[in-house]
Structure 1
Amino acid sequence: MSSGVSTSNDKIIVDRTRAHRNKAVSKAVRATRERLQSNGSSSPMFDREMLTLHLHSMLQGAMIMPLFVTLVAAAGIYINPQGGMLGWALLTLAIHSINLLLARRASRIEITTAKIGKWRIRLLAGQILMGCCWAIFSLGQCDTCGTDGFYFYKGAVLLVAISISAMANVTLRQATLLAFVPAVITLAVTAFSSRSTLDIGLTAMAATALILFHYISDRLHRSNLTLMSYQSEKDDLIAELEVAKSVSDEARRRAEEANLAKSRFLASMSHELRTPLNAILGFSEVMSSEVLGPLSNPTYKEYAGDIHRSGQHLLNLINEILDLSRIEAGRYELSEESLSLLEIAEDCIGMVQLRARSKNITIKQQFEPDLPQVWADEKSMRQVVLNLLSNAVKFTTQGGEVTVKVGWTAGGGQYVTIKDNGPGIAEEEIPVVLSAFGQGSIAIKSAEQGTGLGLPIVQAILAKHDGQFILRSKLREGTEAIAILPATRVLQSLPAVADAQAIEPRRKSFA
């Protein structure tokens, strides 16, 4: 092997230095799948997100509660100037300011998972202090104003306050409940001591509103958790897809490197393999033909013939492998010229005729007359027809029949179809035999096995000619192989048949 062709990269097909990267990728995939399979509602990551959302909501709606308290205090002073509403308003605003300062401080620092519980307790404690303010409000009385009007005022204020708290504290569970349980308890104690119907009704109304808004807040909290879980799953899926894409890109790159190394190896081995084979073929042919004199032992002559046939078979296999490697590497060049498919078919039939007679196989010809020439590579087209004919003769049983047709296609192109009545191929095995090194069950059982490269090479050559290869087969009925060249390859083109009824017979001619 010449040293100029081989490189160090060709020898290293598998890159062992990337093992640590593969381990990291596998670890990332496992971690992602564990996150996808875990319950989102119990994840500390969601707790931190919900706490962050609550802090953001408090700071964004910082002026809602002061405005509401101011309106309530103004209305209370108007209804009952001696009720102490101003002091209550100042106390409530002070506690609300403390809660805002606490939220602002929490938003400016990074809350770790270990500190989430402590900050939740602090925020809930602030809500309890606000609850004490609403409990003080619920104790308010007005002896000078009408009873019904003051109860209506107090009930309306509590309902609005509960609703505002429920909407503001969706992302902090139990906050609404803790903020108004003191007020409900205060109303319940007042109702129990006064036995007043209005106090009992106000207590029932406040308790019912608290339970209802707490339920709504809890449902909204769960909905937010579900949305966060979906968002997290989407992000994890995207991350896993990116990881899988990186793994796929790496595998594709390594496969391309291995394929390139294989192509370089086969190209470099071409000369080294063919040189000794040519010597073996030449010397064995000289010995079997007794050019330099008769062989004293007839067995030697027979052995020389076996050596020549085996060497010729080995050379054909090497040529097929090299052809396929050149096609895969994109280095298979066509030497196009005008040629006749009829002449190529007749020559190939003559080449396999002797082998067909040894198996008592009849080869029938059905050629359309006066076919014009086509623009194609003669060597490649001869290889296509010869491969298909050789397969038909190889797998057709004794006394069988092979039919070769050459004619026009319905679109103005030309076709060569070779049909036999051999054992056939199972329908599910057709993709296998069309793949490189693929062989069907009949070929595996046959004594004349090949490399499984004939049909892939035929398919690739026809694709280089912009043509088409069709393989049809049924078990115990036979196989039909159709090689089609497009109308653009025909030098004297026949116009495409426009009539649908006229197209059908031409299709049937090779169907």
Structure 2
Amino acid sequence: MSEITAQMVQRGRGPTAEEAARRRKVARDVRSARERLTSSIGLERAFDYELLRVYAQYRRGAFLPLVTLACLVAAASAFWAPILLSSAWCAAAIAAIAVNTVLSRSFLRQDPDGLSLRISRRRVIVGELAQSAVWALLVLVPLQVDAANARTYVMVVLVIVAAVTTMLAATVPLAAYAGLLPLCAATATLLALSREVETVLLVGMAVCAQLFFLFLSNHLHASTVSALQSRAEKDAIFGELEQAKANSDEARRRAEEANLAKSRFLATMSHELRTPLNAILGFSEVMKNEVFGPHAAASYKEYSTDIHDSGLHLLNLINEILDLSRIEAGRYELNEEALQLAYVVEEGRHMMALRARAKNQTFREMIDPSLPRLWADERALRQIVLNVLSNAIKFTPPGGEIVIKVGWTSSGGQYVSVKDTGPGIPEDEIPTVMSSFGRGSLAIKTAEQGSGLGLPIVKGLVDLHGGGFQLKSQPREGTEVIVTFPAARVMDALPAMAEPAAPARSSRAA
């Protein structure tokens, strides 16, 4: 049977974070490309609407300034043209400005989903063209009089209007071009009124200025599109973060429900499993010891021994799973008392001595006998020592040596160190070994089978005591497990208290 790898398990749980991010990026790119294909200007539809909305806001806000400018220009042109002509031009200019403003207000009031962006854009282009054409009619003023200052005045007004038009219509480039075309044509017609060098130079400068305003308009359009793209990316990121938060909340809720279901399952199954196991262990031990007489077949005794050993293994596995579950759920209660760490370690070594002798292994102890007592849970401390020693015996080859050290830490705490001469653990497999049911590759090949819960339980119990857990290992150089307890748990001996002196009795003469 092929071995199940971590990658296969991960794929079974769903896509990785990198894969999910790549899929989101591809989906976003496809959506953006689809919107660009359906757009008339090569941008996303949301950008089309935003650019038109910005234009409409500019036009709506420029109504009063433009009307004021038209009135001032008409009043100034009355110095050269008849008042009736100036008034008619002013009325036409105000009417064109009002029409564009009304169209802009109507656009802003409509629902974006029900708008036809193509029609709206065409209205904007036609409106700009018509309004600029009205402004271009100012060239009629120099036709009334042959005055150089009148031509200069009209040229200055056309340049100002070109600057205002290109800036207001910057977010709709075609509208900016349409608005600038009549103004440039009107400026060029001034050459027909005079062929003087000064006039040619002024007209050339005016046309160049208008083209420069068009360049600034294109630059402003590019900046606006860039700002919209940045805002869209930011909104997309916020949306992804909100979705990720929602997914995280849902995953946490499911994890809490699963953890609760696991706790209920373990609480129920622990009783359901232990009750028949106790019967199996009891009856198999009776048959193994032949309490009611020898077996008719020698194989029955061997079978009963296997049943008893298998039952003990299953009971130990159940106990380890329950212990780890209580530790992970934070329900493992510590019954703390003053203990001698050296005594607990020595007792654990004595309990494991029979297993070590069976493999011809030797213990080498370096224990400081002057260590004071430690405030800890005796059952948890004994389980820590037994798990670490059991691992060392399992992974040490026959004839190997196990070194046990107990002493002071540099910070004033106490530590236990167990080092074996087993196959060791590659550095990249240490996280696997520290996970529940995890086992290293070399350990699987060379050691006895186990549940893979020993070290996670040890680390959980050490964390409950506020201590530290360290695993040092190199392939073919052995493994060292170091468990430290903080100085706050060391019970320093207090100095003896001096009894107060009894007060001296004084005799008084009668």
TM over 0.5: yes
Give the CA deviation at 1:310.
Answer: 2.0
User: In the alignment, residue 270 of structure 2 is paired with which amino acid?
Assistant: S
User: In the alignment, residue 90 of structure 2 is paired with which amino acid?
Assistant: A
**What's the counterpart of residue 184 of structure 2?**
184
Give the CA deviation at 1:110.
Answer: 2.7
For 1:493 and 1:169, the matched residues in 2 are separated by 87
- How many percent identity over aligned positions? 46
**Matching of residue 59 in structure 1 with residue 34 in structure 2:** no
Q: Secondary structure at the match of 1:141?
A: helix
Matches within 5 A, 1:326-405: 326-405=326-405
For 2:385 and 2:130, the matched residues in 1 are separated by 94
**What's the counterpart of residue 211 of structure 1?**
211
State the Cα deviation string for residues 79-121 of structure 1 (Å, max 9, x = none): 5567943332232222222222332333333354652222222
Matches within 5 A, 1:94-109: 94-109=95-110
For 1:157 and 1:293, the matched residues in 2 are separated by 125
Of the structure 1 ranges 265-274 and 28-37, higher mean CA displacement relative to structure 2 is found in 28-37
Give the CA deviation at 1:31.
Answer: 6.3
For 2:133 and 2:300, the matched residues in 1 are separated by 117
Change (3 A) 1:106 1:279: closer
For 2:88 and 2:306, the matched residues in 1 are separated by 118
For 2:33 and 2:397, the matched residues in 1 are separated by 59
In the alignment, is the contact (CA less than 8 A) between 2:288 and 2:302 conserved in 1?
yes
User: In the alignment, residue 291 of structure 1 is paired with which amino acid?
Assistant: V
Change (3 A) 1:111 1:138: farther
Matches within 5 A, 1:87-166: 87-112=88-113, 115-141=116-142, 146-147=147-148, 149-166=149-166
State the Cα deviation string for residues 52-82 of structure 1 (Å, max 9, x = none): 2111111111111122222222222235567
For 2:403 and 2:246, the matched residues in 1 are separated by 52
Flag structure 2 segments of 5+ consecutive residues without an equivalent: 1-22, 37-41, 495-510
For 2:112 and 2:324, the matched residues in 1 are separated by 63
Change (3 A) 1:376 1:33: farther
State the Cα deviation string for residues 459-506 of structure 1 (Å, max 9, x = none): 001111111111111111111011111112122269xxxxxxxxxxxx
Of the structure 1 ranges 422-431 and 250-259, higher mean CA displacement relative to structure 2 is found in 250-259
Give the CA deviation at 1:142.
Answer: 6.1
Change (3 A) 1:33 1:187: closer
Give the CA deviation at 1:221.
Answer: 1.2
**What's the counterpart of residue 228 of structure 1?**
228
Give the CA deviation at 1:236.
Answer: 1.5
In the alignment, is the contact (CA less than 8 A) between 2:136 and 2:158 conserved in 1?
no
In the alignment, is the contact (CA less than 8 A) between 1:79 and 1:145 conserved in 2?
no
For 2:435 and 2:112, the matched residues in 1 are separated by 59
In the alignment, is the contact (CA less than 8 A) between 2:394 and 2:447 conserved in 1?
no
Matches within 5 A, 1:188-199: 188-189=188-189, 191=191, 195-199=195-199
**What's the counterpart of residue 490 of structure 1?**
490
For 2:378 and 2:57, the matched residues in 1 are separated by 78
Give the CA deviation at 1:337.
Answer: 1.7
For 1:328 and 1:282, the matched residues in 2 are separated by 32
**What's the counterpart of residue 497 of structure 2?**
none
For 2:63 and 2:175, the matched residues in 1 are separated by 16
**What's the counterpart of residue 253 of structure 2?**
253
In the alignment, is the contact (CA less than 8 A) between 1:324 and 1:457 conserved in 2?
yes
**What's the counterpart of residue 73 of structure 1?**
74
Of the structure 1 ranges 276-285 and 449-458, higher mean CA displacement relative to structure 2 is found in 276-285
Matches within 5 A, 1:235-274: 235-274=235-274
Q: Secondary structure at the match of 1:360?
A: coil
Q: Secondary structure at the match of 2:142?
A: coil
Change (3 A) 1:300 1:142: closer
State the Cα deviation string for residues 158-199 of structure 1 (Å, max 9, x = none): 111111112222223233332232243344455368655455
**What's the counterpart of residue 320 of structure 2?**
320
Q: Secondary structure at the match of 1:380?
A: helix
In the alignment, is the contact (CA less than 8 A) between 1:135 and 1:180 conserved in 2?
no
For 2:396 and 2:186, the matched residues in 1 are separated by 102
For 2:383 and 2:102, the matched residues in 1 are separated by 87
TM-score normalised to structure 2 length: 0.85
In the alignment, is the contact (CA less than 8 A) between 1:139 and 1:186 conserved in 2?
no
For 1:82 and 1:493, the matched residues in 2 are separated by 112
User: In the alignment, residue 154 of structure 1 is paired with which amino acid?
Assistant: V
User: In the alignment, residue 465 of structure 1 is paired with which amino acid?
Assistant: H
**What's the counterpart of residue 456 of structure 1?**
456
**Matching of residue 411 in structure 1 with residue 398 in structure 2:** no
Give the CA deviation at 1:35.
Answer: 4.2
**What's the counterpart of residue 431 of structure 2?**
431
**What's the counterpart of residue 167 of structure 1?**
167
Give the CA deviation at 1:38.
Answer: 6.4
In the alignment, is the contact (CA less than 8 A) between 2:170 and 2:221 conserved in 1?
yes
For 2:57 and 2:331, the matched residues in 1 are separated by 64
**What's the counterpart of residue 500 of structure 2?**
none
For 2:115 and 2:241, the matched residues in 1 are separated by 31
For 2:283 and 2:144, the matched residues in 1 are separated by 132
For 2:392 and 2:34, the matched residues in 1 are separated by 60
**What's the counterpart of residue 504 of structure 1?**
none
Asked which structure has the greater RCO (Cα within 8 Å, sep 6+), the reply is: 1
In the alignment, is the contact (CA less than 8 A) between 1:467 and 1:486 conserved in 2?
yes
User: In the alignment, residue 390 of structure 2 is paired with which amino acid?
Assistant: S
Aligned-residue Cα RMSD (Å) equals: 2.6
For 1:68 and 1:493, the matched residues in 2 are separated by 96
Q: Secondary structure at the match of 2:470?
A: strand
For 1:442 and 1:160, the matched residues in 2 are separated by 84
Q: Secondary structure at the match of 1:418?
A: strand
For 2:420 and 2:74, the matched residues in 1 are separated by 103
For 1:143 and 1:266, the matched residues in 2 are separated by 103
In the alignment, is the contact (CA less than 8 A) between 1:184 and 1:203 conserved in 2?
no
Q: Secondary structure at the match of 1:337?
A: strand
In the alignment, is the contact (CA less than 8 A) between 1:76 and 1:83 conserved in 2?
no
State the Cα deviation string for residues 141-167 of structure 1 (Å, max 9, x = none): 2676642x2332222111111111122
In the alignment, is the contact (CA less than 8 A) between 2:169 and 2:176 conserved in 1?
yes
For 1:235 and 1:411, the matched residues in 2 are separated by 51
Change (3 A) 1:394 1:31: closer
For 2:249 and 2:33, the matched residues in 1 are separated by 27
In the alignment, is the contact (CA less than 8 A) between 2:125 and 2:175 conserved in 1?
yes
In the alignment, is the contact (CA less than 8 A) between 1:138 and 1:183 conserved in 2?
no
**What's the counterpart of residue 498 of structure 2?**
none
- How many positions carry a matched residue from both structures? 467
For 1:251 and 1:436, the matched residues in 2 are separated by 21
For 2:379 and 2:165, the matched residues in 1 are separated by 87
Flag structure 1 segments of 5+ consecutive residues without an equivalent: 1-26, 495-511
**What's the counterpart of residue 287 of structure 2?**
287
**What's the counterpart of residue 277 of structure 2?**
277
For 1:117 and 1:381, the matched residues in 2 are separated by 78
